[in-house]
A and B are shown apart, each in its own frame.
Chain A
Amino acid sequence: MHKAVCCFLFFCSFSLSALTLEQLQQQLTTQKVIRGDFKQSKNLQMFNQPLVSDGSFLLSHQEGLIWTQKNPFPVSLVLTKDKLRQQFSGQSAEIVEASDNPMVFYFSHLFLSLFKGDLASLENQFSMTLTGDLQNTWILHLTPKAAPLNKVFKEIDIKGSIQIEELLLVELNGDSSVIEFSHIDQAQSNLTLQEKNAFEF
């Protein structure tokens, strides 16, 4: 009898925690503003050792993404719906508009969708499988459906629990890039004046 109850409870908890794409999408978009740190590691076979960078980021679902790299050299990148501002250490800022160059924005928008967990727009280009649950960790496997993505990437994995924790891009030839997110702070949902200004350019 005891065993049966245990089994029953086990099955219940299992079925209660099976995660669907809709639930994940819901979870990922509850917080409108996310701040945190990142560590990016590019592992290419042609490199003797991976290229590593780190810094902090601010993701606003409404405005866009601010990516502030500190190491190995300072970079400030701001991406909005139709503009990209890049400023590398010591140089003046460069602004690229989507209407001038739609191709350049293609990958940027893809990256932003991955980052935001915007599953609806990713659905067009990837077939998705989801394993895990919200209490522990979940992994979303994305496999590109068509060119040009499927000519370059074998798969893209997004891993997280309450928020996205890791983004892994694996190329067909075995090269990969991984971005790990840490110190995620979702409490402050308003942008500071400085942050708001960063999006206006």
Chain B
Amino acid sequence: MFVQQTLLQKKLPIETNILALLPKNQQDDVAQYAFEKIADNINNRVIFLIKGKDKDNLIKAAEHFTKSMASIGLFADIESTISVGQQESWSSLYFPYRAQLLSEADKENLKTPETRVNHVIQQIYNPFSGVSGGELRSDPFLLFRDYLSSRNTSNSHFSLHKSYLISEVENNLYLLIQADIAGGAFDRELQNLLPVLQGVETRVEERFHVKLLHTGSLFYAAYGTESAKGEISTIGIGSLIGILFLLLMVYRSILPLALALLSIGCGLLVAFVVTVLVFGEIHIFSLVFGASLIGISIDYAFHYLTERLVHQDNWDSDFALKEIFNAITLGLVTSLIGYLGLLIAPFPGLQQLSLFSIVGLFSAYLTVVMCYPVLSQTPSTVKQPNIVILDAWLRLWRCNRLRVALPGGLILFALIGLTQINFDDDIRQLQAMPDSLKEQEYTIKNITGVGNNQQLLLVKANSEEALLQRLEQLSMQFNDWKKDGFIGNVQSISQFVPSIATQQENYKQVKFLYQQQADYLSNRLNLVEPIIFDQTFNPLLIKDYLNSSVSESLGFLWFGKVVGQTASVIALSDVNNPELIKGYISAQSDVTRLDKAAEISAIFAHYRHFISEMLLVTYVMIGLLLVWRYGVKLGFLVIIPPFVAGLAALAITSVLAIPITIFNLLALLLVLGIGIDYTLFFAEQKNREKSRNTFLAITLSAITTVLSFGLLALSETQAIHGFGVTVLTGIIIAWLLAPLAMKKQDVE
């Protein structure tokens, strides 16, 4: 019924946003809020640059492009021109408050007010300045125009050409177009519109002989989704084909095939449904891992089907189940213990993964236990395969020297390999970053002057005024750093809304200027009416700025009241000296750096240690379980193969220069949980013939598991790739060493 409901909805509840995988910032509510607001704002922005050689051609291309863009339905808002209306908005916002607003340069210059009159006269005579009578009447000292032009300076090298922003860099011209998408970057419907956009871009490039560059979270998100989808297909289909092939080769009949598909199908379906019920959605990351479940859940089926194949006419389906019941149940329990480790870490992503896998495995197990005996009452009509190699290998294990040498040798190799170990907790291992997108982003950032190496600083205070004053203070320090070249650019709301204290200072200065110099200026200009100062103090407030259209680009830096405090963010770009900034910030109690990436990496590192401890605990728990069941000696033998396998897998991963991450350690949990199945089955066997059959089933299981995780190792996402390699190598070695648990007398 739930499935029906899901199918009725147009889309499956699949989440693609990487941040949904990560734990929230528990320490600082304000920081989490700030981060989310900014992430939303940045994520919805797309920037285009049209590259060409001729300004007018670029403008024609831009006009054509923006028209086509608008019809795709992908964008809510497209900015290609600085409209005159926008230019006027600045003026109309600040004009009523002009007696309180002074540019930094004028603040300095008005300390010697006598120089101002000369300046005004010079500007009036200058034919290029465009001082009109109207302006002179309302602003006789021409302070307002200085303030306005100082608000508009930016770090970019763009100039206005017919209302378009064009920059010239190294003999190429670049025209800037910005857009906001009509939704979130992780909205799959929007991502699906990207090929249409690509088509539009290509047509524009061909028609006008220009080159289009683009960047924005949307592109990365779409790429991530596509590559994940591709991987799910590869892993899913690859595993299925491998299993079907094996089934046909070994069992050579339809019934086993059907039973196997039943078990896999049930497992996946129930897992999907339960996970969505619990979490409300599934992250695509979980689905990629979940696809590998196909190769693991088939294990129980293999044991059952091998029994059936071997018994031929002596077949009794219920009896067969009883024979293998202990073994497969123990196997399930140990695998579940392995996955349970993931459920404990407060990573929504890992929790989903583990729930999916646990439910999937359990369902597959139940299918085998409950349905198989009923469905497979008829005996197998296919002759047993005669697998000589397996027999030979098993006989080798009789030799004591092999029993010691092989594990011993592997341990030695592992220890040597582990010297190559290298840890990495960078969050970027979770993302697939295609080079072409990264190049475009880098180019665009350089040309637009947004700069790379951005840092966001969260500032908190008790009131609006206190916050503005603090922002001004900090901006002064940052501007000094800018002069020294330590940072490229500073952006703070205090640049657009001075604190009331500053406005009062300015007002005093301006009033003083008029008192001292108004008469002199009136005389020099030979005015009909003397200049008088008739403006009352009326502060410009944040709400005035935010209500104006000029705050569209940077207004998001101001958060206002959040959890009892007032907060805002200062953005620094092109940070050349991060140590200096770090040192300074740590000395300020009301300023924190918003750095989600570093924060997550720190969390990863912390949990890496936690998982290592978990691993040890799991080994101990399973060890105790085994000792209880098998006694000390056999228990020990059972646990050695997976242990050695884990060490060796880690060693091989390190030797292959893959950095060890939290995911590789999680992989070790799986190597333990699954690898131990193989030794368990040997330990449970009561006689030699059983061992041979067991080994067939184990070998088949190992092949399918290796296939599934081997396919995972092909992933573009570093985390998944590393995970796949570790599990793959671990399982192979666990299989290799599994006969260690075989009773010696069985080998003859």
A sample of 26 inter-chain contacts (CB < 8 A) reads A45-B528, A47-B526, A48-B527, A48-B528, A49-B526, A51-B525, A53-B125, A75-B125, A75-B126, A88-B118, A88-B122, A99-B157, A101-B149, A101-B152, A102-B152, A103-B152, A104-B149, A106-B130, A107-B128, A107-B129, A110-B130, A111-B127, A111-B128, A124-B162, A172-B134, A175-B134
Stretch at the interface among A5-13, A21-29, A145-153, A184-192: A145-153
The answer, yes or no, to whether B726 is at the interface (CB within 8 Å) is no
**Complex interface: chain A residues within 8 A of B130 (CB):** 106-108, 110-111
Stretch at the interface among A77-85, A126-134, A135-143: A77-85
Instruction: Choose from B127, B133, B159 the contact partner of A173 (Cβ within 8 Å).
Output: B133
Q: What are the 8 closest A-B residue pairs judged by CB atoms, nearest first? A: A175-B133, A107-B130, A102-B160, A44-B133, A108-B128, A48-B526, A99-B157, A98-B159
Q: Are B133 and A84 in contact (CB-based, < 8 A)?
A: no
Min C-beta distance of A63 to chain B, whole Å = 16
Question: CA A79 – CA B152 in complex, angstroms?
Answer: 21
Q: Are A171 and B84 in contact (CB-based, < 8 A)?
A: no
Q: Are B132 and A152 in contact (CB-based, < 8 A)?
A: yes
Which residues of chain B from 158 to 186 have any CB-CB distance to chain A below 8 Å in the complex? 158-160, 162, 167
Chain A CB within 10 Å — which of B133, B134, B158, B167 has the most?
A: B133
Known: A46-B133, A107-B130. A40 touches B125 (CB 8 A): yes
Q: Are B125 and A45 in contact (CB-based, < 8 A)?
A: no
**Complex interface: chain B residues within 8 A of A53 (CB):** 125
Closest to A69 in B: B125
The answer, yes or no, to whether B477 is at the interface (CB within 8 Å) is no
**Complex interface: chain A residues within 8 A of B125 (CB):** 40, 42, 51, 53, 69, 72, 75
Known: A47-B526, A49-B526. A84 touches B128 (CB 8 A): yes
**Complex interface: chain B residues within 8 A of A49 (CB):** 526
Q: Are B88 and A147 in contact (CB-based, < 8 A)?
A: yes
The answer, yes or no, to whether B136 is at the interface (CB within 8 Å) is yes
Known: A46-B528, A48-B528, A173-B133. A101 touches B153 (CB 8 A): yes
The answer, yes or no, to whether B148 is at the interface (CB within 8 Å) is yes
Min C-beta distance of A155 to chain B, whole Å = 14
**Complex interface: chain B residues within 8 A of A86 (CB):** 126
Q: Are B160 and A106 in contact (CB-based, < 8 A)?
A: yes
The answer, yes or no, to whether B137 is at the interface (CB within 8 Å) is yes
Chain B 82-94 against A: per-residue CB contact (8 Å), 1 yes, 0 no? 0011011000000
**Complex interface: chain A residues within 8 A of B158 (CB):** 99, 102
Known: A84-B128, A102-B159. 15 other contacts (CB 8 A): A44-B136, A45-B528, A47-B527, A47-B528, A48-B526, A51-B124, A75-B122, A77-B126, A99-B158, A101-B149, A103-B152, A147-B84, A147-B88, A148-B87, A179-B127
Closest to B135 in A: A152
Min C-beta distance of B94 to chain A, whole Å = 13
**Complex interface: chain A residues within 8 A of B126 (CB):** 75, 77, 86
Question: CA A84 – CA B74 in complex, angstroms?
Answer: 42
Question: CA A177 – CA B150 in complex, angstroms?
Answer: 27
Chain B CB within 10 Å — which of A46, A98, A108 has the most?
A: A46
The answer, yes or no, to whether B579 is at the interface (CB within 8 Å) is no
Q: Are B149 and A173 in contact (CB-based, < 8 A)?
A: no
Which residues of chain A from 92 to 131 have any CB-CB distance to chain B below 8 Å in the complex? 98-108, 110-111, 124
Question: CA A110 – CA B156 in complex, angstroms?
Answer: 23
Closest to A45 in B: B133
**Complex interface: chain B residues within 8 A of A173 (CB):** 133-134
The answer, yes or no, to whether B534 is at the interface (CB within 8 Å) is no
**Complex interface: chain B residues within 8 A of A51 (CB):** 124-125, 525-526
Q: Are A46 and B124 in contact (CB-based, < 8 A)?
A: no
**Complex interface: chain B residues within 8 A of A72 (CB):** 125
Question: CA A67 – CA B87 in complex, angstroms?
Answer: 29
Question: CA A106 – CA B127 in complex, angstroms?
Answer: 13
Question: CA A179 – CA B153 in complex, angstroms?
Answer: 31
Min C-beta distance of A52 to chain B, whole Å = 9
Question: CA A110 – CA B162 in complex, angstroms?
Answer: 12
Question: CA A46 – CA B160 in complex, angstroms?
Answer: 34
**Complex interface: chain B residues within 8 A of A100 (CB):** 153
Q: Are B527 and A152 in contact (CB-based, < 8 A)?
A: no
Question: CA A103 – CA B157 in complex, angstroms?
Answer: 14
**Complex interface: chain A residues within 8 A of B149 (CB):** 101, 103-104
**Complex interface: chain B residues within 8 A of A84 (CB):** 128
The answer, yes or no, to whether B529 is at the interface (CB within 8 Å) is yes
Q: Are A79 and B525 in contact (CB-based, < 8 A)?
A: no
Instruction: Choose from B128, B152, B525 the contact partner of A77 (Cβ within 8 Å).
Output: B128
Min C-beta distance of A157 to chain B, whole Å = 16
Chain B 106-150 against A: per-residue CB contact (8 Å), 1 yes, 0 no? 000000000000100010111111101110110000000000110
**Complex interface: chain A residues within 8 A of B157 (CB):** 99
Q: Are B133 and A79 in contact (CB-based, < 8 A)?
A: no
Which residues of chain A from 10 to 46 have any CB-CB distance to chain B below 8 Å in the complex? 40, 42, 44-46
Question: CA A75 – CA B153 in complex, angstroms?
Answer: 26
Known: A53-B125, A103-B149. A152 touches B134 (CB 8 A): yes
Question: CA A79 – CA B127 in complex, angstroms?
Answer: 11
**Complex interface: chain A residues within 8 A of B526 (CB):** 47-49, 51
**Complex interface: chain B residues within 8 A of A108 (CB):** 128, 130
Question: CA A194 – CA B149 in complex, angstroms?
Answer: 32
**Complex interface: chain B residues within 8 A of A179 (CB):** 127
Min C-beta distance of A149 to chain B, whole Å = 9
Min C-beta distance of A147 to chain B, whole Å = 5
Question: CA A88 – CA B122 in complex, angstroms?
Answer: 8
Q: Are B528 and A103 in contact (CB-based, < 8 A)?
A: no
Question: CA A111 – CA B125 in complex, angstroms?
Answer: 14
Question: CA A99 – CA B156 in complex, angstroms?
Answer: 8
Question: CA A101 – CA B146 in complex, angstroms?
Answer: 11
**Complex interface: chain A residues within 8 A of B529 (CB):** 46
Known: A103-B149, A106-B160. A46 touches B87 (CB 8 A): no
Question: CA A53 – CA B122 in complex, angstroms?
Answer: 11
Min C-beta distance of A47 to chain B, whole Å = 6
**Complex interface: chain A residues within 8 A of B167 (CB):** 99
Which residues of chain B from 163 to 220 have any CB-CB distance to chain A below 8 Å in the complex? 167
Q: Are A42 and B124 in contact (CB-based, < 8 A)?
A: yes
Min C-beta distance of A94 to chain B, whole Å = 11
Min C-beta distance of A194 to chain B, whole Å = 21
Question: CA A110 – CA B127 in complex, angstroms?
Answer: 11
Instruction: Choose from B132, B160, B525, B527 the contact partner of A175 (Cβ within 8 Å).
Output: B132
Min C-beta distance of B550 to chain A, whole Å = 13
Question: CA A156 – CA B132 in complex, angstroms?
Answer: 13
**Complex interface: chain B residues within 8 A of A40 (CB):** 125, 127
Question: CA A106 – CA B88 in complex, angstroms?
Answer: 14
Question: CA A82 – CA B173 in complex, angstroms?
Answer: 15
Closest to A105 in B: B159
**Complex interface: chain A residues within 8 A of B152 (CB):** 101-103
